[in-house]
Structure 1
Amino acid sequence: MTVNQLTDDEVIDKVLGGNSDSFSILVDRYKDHSFTLAFNVMKDEKEAEDIAQEAFIKAYKNLKKFNRESKFSTWLYRITFNTALTANKKKKKYSSTSFDDSPIELIDSTKNELEQAEKKKFILQALDQLNEQDNVALTLFYLKEQSLEEICEVTGMSLSTLKVRLHRARKRMAIVLNDILKEEALNL
């Protein structure tokens, strides 16, 4: 059996059994998703990297406490989400304004690829204008394709609250997208 064929539980058993190097398997599996979740909250690439790294450190240190009632990925995303929210609150406390200067790069040259990049740009702009909880809920549900139950575990919301949040977030997203597209049309 290769390393990639090991389940998360098998990797966790190895780590808890004294093979701490095996934790790198979990890091490799979930680093991109953890970073994306942190980025959706922090809106800064460097800060998101730091948050993701801190989340993995916390997960490693608390691995004995992981009860395996949920998937490891869900538990990790919950740690990442909470770490990002805490850091974002501290950040907002010390600075009244934050500027997002990470431009969306349009690299692809074919028409279809440009259209996809343009759509992504507008969606990311709209997500950026939503509050953190709406942004995270929509991102996890639509972009990361997590189940409602997994999102509840990550965010700490009840299922009914999450359903209402997703419903309202979709409406807010539609309004924001409509405003962005109107503005874009005026600039043509």
Structure 2
Amino acid sequence: MDHINDDIILDKILAGDNSQYKILINKYKDYAFTLAYNILNHREEAEEAAQDSFVKAFRHLPKFNRKAKFSTWLYKIVTNTAITYCRKQKVKKEDIDRIAGIGEVPVSELELADRKKFIRRALALLNEQDRSVISLFYLKELSLEEIAEVTGIKGNLVKVKLHRARKKLAKYMKLILQEEALIL
């Protein structure tokens, strides 16, 4: 249903109804920001990358062939834009050595806000591609095929990369939680 609605909106935009841009932006702005944020781990840069992604999408809208859903095409643009920002800005990752090998705190003891903070920290430790695959699968709920299309990763390799990224994320979460246990 959303795919059909997007097609109708896109047809109106291509026919010259610029008011429809706002509808698409409002529909996808949170997803675009979240995806960019999960790659960049920096609010202002993520907002900028999301905005730039919409500009690129609208500039290239006549070239969109509609074989894929608009959302998949937009996610690919956002991912590529955020990765470009990441490379240009040389976003610093946390030093993994700093959080190596200490005690353990069960996740059940953490409040929801703390869980989100720890997950964001762990995501920041992943490389760009792993972070992107995790975000697309869990936050955007894209299928493996859609992730392959967005990221350009071939076939079953998406499943392998997702599995490895999950293992890394779990490892980093454990290390971060162990570090927090020492501070407490």
TM-score range, shorter chain: 0.7 to 0.9
Q: Which residue of 1 aligns with 2:18?
A: 20
Is the CA contact (8 Å cut-off) linking 2:57 and 2:77 kept in structure 1?
Answer: yes
In structure 2, the residue matched to 1:148 is: 144
**1:109-139, Cα deviation, whole Å (9 max, x unpaired):** xxx9x72222222111111111111111111
1:70 Cα deviation from its structure 2 partner: 0.6
Which of 67, 70, 73 is equivalent to 1:72? 70
Matched, 1:115 2:111: yes
- Counterpart contact for 2:33–2:46, Cα < 8 Å: yes
- Distance of 2:118 and 2:170 partners within structure 1: 11
Spell out the pairing of 1:33-72 with structure 2 (5 A cutoff): 33-72=31-70
Q: Is the 2:13–2:21 contact (alpha carbons within 8 Å) kept by the matching residues of 1?
A: yes
Structure 1 residues without counterparts, runs of 5 or longer: 100-111
Distance in 1 between residues matched to 2:131 and 2:5, nearest whole Å: 30
Write the letter of the residue equivalent to 2:87.
Answer: K
1:158 partner SS: coil
1:43 deviates by: 1.7
Matched, 1:184 2:158: no
Aligned residues: 168
Matched letter for residue 82 of structure 2: A
Partners in 2 of 1:127 and 1:42 — Cα distance? 10
2:105 maps to which residue?
none
Which amino acid in 1 is paired with 2:141?
E
Among residues 113, 127, 131, which one is paired with 1:131 in the alignment? 127
Please give the alpha-carbon distance, in whole angstroms, between the structure 1 residues aligned to 2:85 and 2:173: 28
Larger RCO (CA under 8 A, 6+ residues apart): 2
Deviations 1:127-185 (A, max 9, x none): 11111111111111112211111211211111312111111111111111111111122
Q: Distance in 2 between matches of 1:125 and 1:41?
A: 12
Find runs of 4+ consecutive structure 1 residues off by over 3 angstroms.
Answer: none
Residue 103 of structure 1 corresponds to: none
TM-score, length basis structure 1:
0.83
Give the corresponding residue for 2:100. Answer: none
Instruction: Normalising by structure 2, report the TM-score.
Output: 0.85
For the 8 Å contact 2:41–2:120, the answer to whether it is kept is: no
